[in-house]
Amino acid sequence: MKKVLFGLYNDDTELIDAIHGAKEAGLEIMDVYTPFPVHGLDDAMGLSESRLHQAGFVFGALGLLTALGVMSWVFTRDWPIVFGGKPYFSFPAFVPITFELTVLFSAVGMVITFYVVCGLGPSAEAKVLHDRITDDKFCLAFDTTNMSQGDVEKYAAFLSRSGAAETHTKTI
């Protein structure tokens, strides 16, 4: 359980300014929640680039090798059949299925990776701080679980100073 202090801003530009302000003031941000992907948020928070596309490449390569491997094995080793006088290993005819499986493995693998690394799933509990965050409020949250009363007041003062329209606390 975490005790969270959070401020709700009415505009994404105010949120970005507040993040910069919090960093300058040396405040430790727990997370930021927004109703849509905000341009420039990654830079402001100093998030490193997502490596999801690398997972996509690995899964795609796996699909390519699976398709080529299985088709070659079936047609040259397991059950060779002559189709229209063509060689057993007829590579051009293997291209369409190889392509499709590359795409399939890559897409399915990436989507599964996405849900796993984000901890999302049908039974995942949404730790919603405020119902308007998925609507029109931009949320800057601080973890105050182990903070002294004085520190909490310092964080709360920062939120109101930086233009937060509302400030709340919630235990999630």
Interaction of residue 154 with another protein, rule CB under 8 A:
no
Which of these segments, 103-111, 142-150, 152-160, 162-170, binds another protein (CB under 8 A)?
A: 103-111
CA separation for the pair 139, 7 (Å, rounded): 6
Q: Which C-beta is closer to another protein: that of 50 or that of 153?
A: 50
| 3-state helix, strand and coil shares in percent for the chain, rounded to the nearest 5 | 50, 15, 35
Interaction of residue 56 with another protein, rule CB under 8 A:
yes
| Residue from the set 9, 18, 106, 159 that interacts with another protein by CB under 8 A | 106
Residue 102 burial by Cβ neighbours in a 10 Å radius (0-12, 13-18, 19+): buried
Interaction of residue 163 with another protein, rule CB under 8 A:
no
How remote is the C-alpha of 172 from its chain's centroid?
21
| Residue from the set 24, 123, 146, 149 that interacts with another protein by CB under 8 A | 123
Residue 138 burial by Cβ neighbours in a 10 Å radius (0-12, 13-18, 19+): buried
Contacts of 19 (CB under 8 A, 6+ apart): 29, 32, 41, 44, 45, 140
Report yes or no: 172 and 1 within 8 Å, Cβ to Cβ.
yes
As measured in angstroms, the least distance from the Cβ of 34 to another protein is: 5
| Residue from the set 18, 32, 159, 164 that interacts with another protein by CB under 8 A | 32
Q: Which C-beta is closer to another protein: that of 34 or that of 167?
A: 34
Q: What length is written for the chain?
A: 172
Interaction of residue 165 with another protein, rule CB under 8 A:
no
By CB under 8 A, name the binding residues for another protein.
31-39, 41-42, 45, 47, 50, 52-53, 56, 60, 70-71, 74-75, 78-79, 81, 83, 86, 90, 93-94, 96-97, 99-101, 103-104, 106-108, 110-111, 114-115, 117-129, 131-136, 139
